[in-house]
Structure 1
């Protein structure tokens, strides 16, 4: 009897064991394992997450929207998404001594343990998995375009094979353990996004305004014009989609009560948004100005010459979407690994990580090969999931947590963003779905 530990000691011992296991898991999971990022990591991670392949579809979106609405939607989106991004940076550490390292953790604090998960996780997964699938298609298409430009008399190769080549890179890169370990890939991707955006608008400007250019709506019917308008709103929403990984990026920055992470994070976000403006506005406006409503859904396809510059831009796109895929895949890896280790009690190991990540890359490759309707996919995903997580979910959380005074400036600002975001979420998938249906008529599987 004398050797038996007192119940209190046993209780403390079990708590210490739980905390030690929790720390071991956190040190292994990709989001929380490394917290030594600098502010410039935030800048190029955010550029890589934001300036995706969507920028190349902006002149096409402008053609569907027209000059006035197009410019208004672009500018409004830039302002609203910068505001909602600021809110997320602020909310990361609003509870002293606690960090909301993941989007769904913030959702759970705002809406409750279960409801927060049900609201945030499905939308975040749709965005992140959707982006990875679309980037599989984009990477494959850009590789195919590069091959066709460099070797125009070669035997044509199916798009399916190029998507597989693009995926093969990710079977290697996906085994980098966390956000900080992909910093080099992300920096290269950020530089490439600025490079191919510059090539896109500079080559368009050099080409000059085309003869018989028209700026009227392309669709012959009123219904077609309206659906195209809705679809274009989804394309713009897709272009501003970096919010889904912003808390996860901020989680990698060190934080103390004297120096909270929101300082360096916000500095990085401001730099990133300046780069976003330098990429988006010239591409959208110059591309539409030069080609009018005849512009393709990827501006590089409209620019057929000089071939070497367009080939180079396509390779830049490939390098960029390699980095972007990794940025969006990392939170998904984190979710899958958290579920397996915390809920299903698998042991954190390299084997587990190897199986999980290879499975994810293979799954996104398979879906990308099966459904490569690039333009329609952008609009559908853009409205369905990007609008909530980017345009208004941060505002709903802000109202739920901070409860600003009714009819104050903060209250009005958030409600305006929520109303605009909900309208965007409702109308743009309608246009995107119609585009997918129209393109699917002429589509052969695994072509």
Structure 2
């Protein structure tokens, strides 16, 4: 039985030399002992949260203004933290400490709600994860282009027009991801997440520093309580659509519930996983909110109502060029790690389903040991190699076809925030604690659900409209002019 579990688990890669796995190396579910702590979980969360979303916050605040902008940021922060604590209690069921483990978000929904909710959760979760990996491919290429752009201006002067294309850099990013995608599972990603978290702090701090320098040097740009001004910066219809899209951008900036359960599944069982996860969530959300406010506020002060969609690559100056280069390199490295955080649940889901569907297929189940210098024996699975490579290639091609950073970010955030961050966690909490219908708590939670639904709906409409406008004016696979 132990050998059968070992064969079918994506978490155990090596057999015991004697064919007998000692109990000391197994958790209560027969899988390899988990070693994660709240520190590694915090790194995963920061890697997932401080991603490309932070780059659009100055633009989002410019659309919403000084009143609504920070208020929306704080509201999403509170909602995300609250619902994440509810979700962390659902990792084990029926008891949050001693119950049976649920390895994925879908497993949690199956144990708490069941029925059609499971399919709807899977559609929302994996659709969001696919969208995020495409969005991160776009963002990484934009950052790498920005390095070439700043060097071009440094060599030839700011009056020169630089021409480049994102596509070759997307291909380079995809090649790196093809290699990293062979990391077997989430449990092997701690080192990459810690590196990516350090990079996220680095480029966010540089962006804040550059914004402060610009404010000191040029003075604050024109800002208003309501953001962009109708008749001056935008038309009335553009104001509405951009405000909706800005809400979607903020929602995307807090999107990590899609991988919360998978992150929690890396934690060791003492102290209880839900306790460690709540601590990691508090650290992760507090840290990211602090950086978000600083990036959004300082970016808005630096650029005013003309804040660019990507405040780091959109700076109107390129000196010191080496600092701009370093910041954008940090973004690229961070997104290399963040891509893996979001795509590993997709890989795990497909491989688990295929193993269950075709348990006797050697192409899917068998592994071959290869001696790797300075590493040891690495176990290669043919299906994993082919399928993960194909996924990375397809996501890169889609990124080449739709390279619209702001529109894509808003669309993903608006479509996924409500079901995965609000609806399912709250509904599972109601079901698990058996809250009486029409009680005060029940009514308050239902108001939270439907208020967030309305906000997500208007953000989705704004992002779709923005994407349509971008598609009308975009010419694919042609060089992009950078001024």
Q: What's the TM-score, normalizing by structure 2?
A: 0.83
CA contact (8 A) 2:221 2:301 kept: no
Deviation at 1:22, TM superposition (A): 4.3
Q: What is the alpha-carbon distance in structure 2 between the residues aligned to residue 184 and residue 413 of structure 1?
A: 41
Q: For residue 27 of structure 1, report the CA deviation from its aligned partner.
A: 4.7
* RMSD (Å) for aligned C-alpha atoms: 2.2
Structure 2 match to 1:130:
131
Within 1, Cα distance between the matches of 2:136 and 2:50?
12
From the two aligned structures, give the one with the greater strand fraction.
Answer: 2
Partner of 2:481: none
Residue 245 (str. 1) matches residue 254 (str. 2): no
* Secondary structure of 1:446's aligned partner: coil
Given the alignment of the two structures, is residue 142 of structure 1 paired with residue 132 of structure 2, yes or no?
no
How many Å apart are 1:218 and its aligned residue? 4.6
> Does 2:306 match 1:294?
yes
Unaligned runs of 5+ in 2: 14-28, 157-161, 368-380, 479-483
Aligned to 1:260: 272
1:160 is aligned, of 167, 170, 174, to 167
Aligned counterpart for 2:184 among listed residues 167, 177, 192: 177
Instruction: Report what 1:196 is aligned to.
Output: 203
Check if 1:24 corresponds to 2:7: yes
> Contact 2:150 / 2:318 at 8 angstroms: preserved in 1?
no
Deviations 1:367-392 (A, max 9, x none): 11111011111111111123321133
Alpha-carbon distance between aligned partners in 1 of 2:32 and 2:60, rounded to the nearest angstrom: 40
Q: Distance in 1 between matches of 2:443 and 2:301?
A: 35
SS in structure 2 opposite 1:316? helix
Deviates more, 1:213-222 or 1:290-299: 213-222
Q: Name whichever of 228-237 and 412-421 sits farther off.
A: 412-421
User: What is the CA distance between 1:357 and its match in structure 2?
Assistant: 0.9
Give the whole-Å Cα distance in 1 for the aligned partners of 2:240 and 2:11.
49
Match of 1:403 in 2: 434
Aligned to 1:311: 325
Structure (1 or 2) with the greater helix fraction? 1
**Does residue 474 of structure 2 align to residue 443 of structure 1?**
yes
Distance in 1, Cα, partners of 2:283 & 2:221: 39
Which residue of structure 2 aligns with residue 275 of structure 1?
287
Q: Is the Cα–Cα contact under 8 Å of residues 29 and 337 in structure 1 kept in the other structure? A: no
* Deviation string, structure 1 residues 183-238 (Cα, Å, up to 9, x no partner): 11110110111111111122101111656624342553322211111111100000
Q: Structure 2 matches for 1:365-404, cutoff 5 A?
A: 365-404=396-435
Distance 1:34 1:305, change over 3 A: farther
Per-residue deviation, residues 27-51 of structure 1 (Å, max 9, x unmatched): 5479965622122110100100111
Which residue of 2 is the match for residue 86 of structure 1?
Answer: 85
Which residue is 1:48 aligned to? 47
Q: Deviations over 1:51-74 (max 9, x none)?
A: 111001011011111211111111
Q: Is the 8 A contact 2:74 2:289 kept in 1?
A: no
TM-score scaled by length of structure 1: 0.90
Matched ranges for 1:297-376 at <5 A: 297-303=309-315, 304-306=317-319, 307-345=321-359, 346=361, 347-348=364-365, 349=367, 350-376=381-407
1:29 touches 1:338 (CA, 8 Å); kept in 2? no
Structure 1 CA distance for aligned equivalents of residues 177 and 229 of structure 2: 38
Distance 1:228 1:156, change over 3 A: closer
Aligned residues: 427
Structure 1, unaligned runs of 5 or more: 1-15
Q: Structure 1 pair 179/33, CA: closer, same or farther in 2 (3 Å)?
A: farther
Give the match's secondary structure for 1:217.
coil
Q: Does the 8 Å CA contact 2:220/2:301 hold for their aligned counterparts?
A: no
Q: Is the 8 A contact 1:108 1:115 kept in 2?
A: no
In 2 relative to 1, CA 224–339 (structure 1 residues): closer, same or farther, beyond 3 Å?
same
- Residue of structure 1 equivalent to 2:214: 207
Answer yes or no: is the 8 Å Cα contact 1:336–1:356 preserved in 2: no
Q: Cα–Cα, structure 1 residues 119 and 77, in superposed 2: closer, same or farther, change >3 Å?
A: same
Question: Deviation digits for residues 270-312 of structure 1, max 9, x if unmatched?
Answer: 2212221221110011111222110000011332232222221
Q: Which residue of 2 aligns with 1:7?
A: none
The CA deviation at 1:332 is 0.3
Supply the distance in 2 between the matched residues of 1:177 and 1:60 (Cα, whole angstroms). 38
Maintained 8 Å contact 1:60/1:288: yes
